[in-house]
Amino acid sequence: MTERVPVIAGNWKMHRDHLEAIQLVQKLAYHLQEDDYEGQEVVVCPPFVALRSVQTLLQSDKLPIHLGAQNCHSEDEGAFTGEISATMLARLDVRYVVVGHSERRELFGETDEIVNAKVAAVQRHKMRPILCVGEVLDQREAGQAVDVVVSQLQGSLAGIRVADPEELVVAYEPVWAIGTGKTATPQDAQDMCAAIRTELASLYDEQTAAGIRIQYGGSVKPGNVRELMSQPDIDGALVGGASLSSEDFALIVGHRR
Ligand X SMILES: O=C(CO)COP(=O)(O)O
- Footprint on this chain of ligand X (rule: CB under 6 A): 11, 101, 173, 178-179, 217-220, 238-242
Pick between residue 101 and residue 118 the one whose CB is nearest to ligand X.
101
Pick between residue 17 and residue 106 the one whose CB is nearest to ligand X.
106
* Residue 53 is labelled as binding a ligand: no
Helix-then-strand count for the chain, H and E? 11, 8
* Residue 224 is labelled as binding a ligand: no
Pick between residue 146 and residue 220 the one whose CB is nearest to ligand X.
220
Pick between residue 214 and residue 239 the one whose CB is nearest to ligand X.
239
* Residue 176 is labelled as binding a ligand: no
Which residue's CB comes closest to ligand X?
240
DSSP conformational letter for 125 = T
CB of 164 to ligand X, least distance (A): 24
- Sequence-ordered alpha helix ranges (H) in 85-180: 86-90, 102-107, 112-124, 137-141, 145-156
CB of 130 to ligand X, least distance (A): 9
One-letter identity of residue 183? T
* Number of Cβ within a 10 Å radius of residue 49: 12
The DSSP bridge pattern shows strands 41-45 and 213-217 to be unpaired
CB of 131 to ligand X, least distance (A): 12
* Residue 12 is labelled as binding a ligand: yes
What phi, psi does 195 have (nearest 5°)? -65, -35
Burial label for 221, CB within 10 Å (0-12, 13-18, 19+), is: middle
Burial label for 187, CB within 10 Å (0-12, 13-18, 19+), is: exposed
The catalytic residues are: 101, 173
Give yes or no for a contact between 221 and 244, defined as CB atoms under 8 angstroms apart: no
CB of 256 to ligand X, least distance (A): 20
* Residue 126 is labelled as binding a ligand: no
Residues tagged in the binding site annotation for substrate: 11-13, 179, 219, 240-241
Annotated binding site: 11-13, 179, 219, 240-241
